[in-house]
A and B are shown apart, each in its own frame.
Chain A
Amino acid sequence: MLGYVLRRLFTAIPTLFFIVTGAFFLIRVAPGGPFNLERPLEAKVMENLNKIYHLDKPLWEQYLYYLGNLMRGDFGPSFVYRDFSVSELFASGLPVSVQIGASALVLALVFGTLLGVAAALRQNQPADYGVVGLATLGITIPTFVIAPLLSLVFGVWLGWLPAGGWGDGAFANKVLPVVTLALPQIAVVTRLTRGAMIEAMRSHHIRTARAYGLKPWTVVVVHALRSAILPVVSYAGPAAAALLTGSVVVETIFGIPGIGRYFVQAALNRDYTLVMGTVIVIAIFIIIFNLVVDLLYALIDPRVRLG
């Protein structure tokens, strides 16, 4: 098991290398640069800036320079947020995004599984139709509609919660963003669980368990849910990576200082180092959570062998 994990992490290195290389050259090929402002800078200033940030060297030299720094764990300085290094930006933003994302993920898994199981056990009954309808609605309403609506209803009309802002991580400030992030995930998890659960309840081992006279609770939770949870696990991996690295929409609308906003801003401003940093962080999260999914799979389903 440990050997497997190590081997997987080892094979992630070439993947990461390809991603870094691809992203580096892609963003460099894009026209424009970090200092191309609406009002052009003076030629001398531009030249100095380029020298400071090593932009005057040929591309391959810059690439080797960046790789060398990366090996030492240095993401370099941000081009647009002057006075900040990319590492500093992540150090302050990542915990915020992870906090919000993890809360949303837990919320989604708990409620999604509960609703999905409840709907599956009442298949083709009004309760089931209700849950499926709500879940479809949850998938179809985009977050950038939910977020302002929630902010309007609970922040402005009812005044129960702050309409936006981080408030140094006060609980009340986190409620709306977490709920906004969680709602579509709850919907997806519900649908996945319901589908898998219906199939599981029809399978032979459940019939056998029933025939043995096991309690319904044992049949559902111990036997059926175990196989029904597999698709949820494989969905939750990439979803977790996406949630923990922050959401542009939620962070923009609620004014949360996470790292989700950086990506779009950085790419538009050609903040090369920040873009690269974000790409790497997201890729690492994806790789780690794919590994976690595979480990969980082996844990839940004894037929799966790690190898």
Chain B
Amino acid sequence: MATMKTTAAAPVRGRSLWDDALIRLKRNRAATLSLGFLVAMALACIIGPLLTGHGYDQVYRSYVKVGPSLTPYPRAETVAPAARRALRRARVEVGEDIVIGDGIVRIPVSSEGELDQRIVRYIDRGDIFSGARLEDLAADGRSAVIVADIEQLTFLFGTDATGRDLLTRTLIAGRISMTIGLLATVVAIVIGVTYGSLSGYLGGRADLLMMRIVDVLYSLPFIFFVILLVVFFGRNFVLMFIAVGAVEWLDMARIVRGQTLTLKRQEFVQAAEALGVENIGILRRHIIPNLTGPVVIYMTLLVPKVILLESFLSFLGLGVQEPMTSWGVLISEGARDIEGNPTMLLFPALFLTSTLFALNFIGDGLRDALDPKDR
């Protein structure tokens, strides 16, 4: 009696296929590490641009193509020449001893005539100084000291060819690249699963016809489609990637069709048919849920493929347009000037590659976890 009660109170819950897969996935260290990395990367790309202190399209004319560094710009030795350069057009004599200290610069100036108060604007114009003012004005008004605050700016990854902070741009680019990857993949999955499962389940002549269409689409060069899409949709990248997703579904349709062909001979599908369930009902209730494994695996492998495709298009100049950016755009900009400043290529390339690397490992891990053959 007592034993029966305990079994009734705590019914033994069987381990489903998904529980099994989850356990196996957790055991795969490469996959879990990659998953963690990917989450960190996504968070960095979402939150990061708010924390860098630079806008992704903010141009610093005084800092074009500066190298990456942990210490803030400007360097002490560049302040004095920068001040002289700024004052060159002010038609004043700049004294020898420019004093720098405590984030403030003191520039002695003198002039033949009376000093114009407005010369401080020359100092303020660049990105190096701010709040410039005239102090210690001599009685005759011909000499004074310009006091200005030195703007401390940190460019962890350096800046690009127009003087924008590369870290911010890399993170913003990550947002775009990942969004595009997900968006196109979802479109491809939806079309591919519907088409493939329908084709496989209907079978016969419908299947033959539907698969011939896929074959013909296959042999048209892919890049041809993409370029046509660019031509049609202009450079509207959201529309374009919905369209790219609409092209990428071919593989998915084939995989799903193959799976459906095996599934539909299973007893539970026959049972449902015998019970008089409609085609749509069987597809929705029995076929598509059983396709989840291969679809999930294919999805994790499709996301990097689309990101790579986007980068490739951007590399050709067909992708995301300025001032928005993506990893592909940054890489192509970096590749153009690789001899002068290799870091402009290295950082975006590192971000792109590590993300793709992580996605690939997750895909492999999922395949190992969900593949029943491996047990």
Contact = CB atoms under 8 A, between A and B. Distances in A.
Most buried by B among A267, A279, A283: A267
A279 B224 contact: yes
Contact of A27 (B223, B228, B311, B345): B228
A15 B219 CA distance: 9
Interface string B229-271: 0011000000000000000000000000000000000000000
A278 B220 CA distance: 11
Contacts of A151: 338
Interface in A117-148: 136-137, 139-142, 144-145, 147-148
Given A30-B232, A139-B360, A144 B332 contact: yes
A302 interface: no
A249 B315 contact: yes
B205 to A, nearest CB: 18
A23 interface: yes
Q: Top 8 closest A-B pairs, CB basis?
A: A140-B356, A148-B335, A267-B227, A30-B231, A145-B349, A144-B315, A148-B338, A282-B221
Contacts of A22: 216, 220
B223 A264 contact: yes
Q: Which of B220, B221, B231, B342 has the most chain A CB atoms closer than 10 A to its own CB?
A: B221
B353 interface: yes
A42 B224 CA distance: 31
A144 B223 contact: no
A152 B311 contact: no
A31 B221 CA distance: 20
B224 A263 contact: yes
Contacts of B215: 15
B221 A142 contact: no
A141 B342 contact: no
Given A22-B216, A148-B345, A142 B312 contact: yes
Given A136-B357, A141-B353, A253-B335, A267 B345 contact: no
A282 B220 CA distance: 8
B200 interface: no
B132 interface: no
A140 B335 contact: no
17 contacts: A19-B220, A23-B224, A26-B228, A30-B228, A136-B361, A137-B357, A141-B353, A142-B308, A144-B332, A148-B335, A151-B338, A152-B338, A248-B223, A263-B224, A267-B227, A275-B224, A279-B224
A145 B232 CA distance: 29
Chain A interface SS verdict (over half)? helix
Contact of A144 (B220, B224, B231, B331): B331
Contacts of B224: 23, 26, 263, 267, 275, 279
A253 B227 CA distance: 20
A140 B312 contact: no
Interface of A: 15, 18-19, 22-23, 26-27, 30-32, 136-137, 139-142, 144-145, 147-149, 151-152, 156, 248-249, 253, 263-264, 267-268, 275, 278-279, 282-283, 286-287
A278 B223 CA distance: 11
Contacts of A142: 308, 311-312, 331, 352
Contacts of B312: 142, 144, 249
B253 to A, nearest CB: 17
Contacts of A149: 338, 345
Interface in B292-311: 304, 308, 311
B213 to A, nearest CB: 10
B353 A286 contact: no
B280 interface: no
A263 B223 contact: yes
A108 B304 CA distance: 22
Contact of B228 (A136, A156, A267, A283): A267
B19 interface: no
Contact of B311 (A26, A144, A147): A144
B219 A287 contact: yes
Nearest to A199: B373
B47 interface: no
Interface string B328-360: 000110110011001001000100110011001
B246 to A, nearest CB: 14
Contacts of B221: 263, 278-279, 282-283
Contact of A137 (B223, B335, B352, B353): B353
B327 to A, nearest CB: 10
Contacts of B332: 144
Contacts of B345: 145, 148-149
B316 interface: yes
| Among B219, B227, B356, B360: residue with most chain A CB under 10 A | B219
Contacts of A152: 338-339, 342
A56 B232 CA distance: 22
A30 B231 CA distance: 6
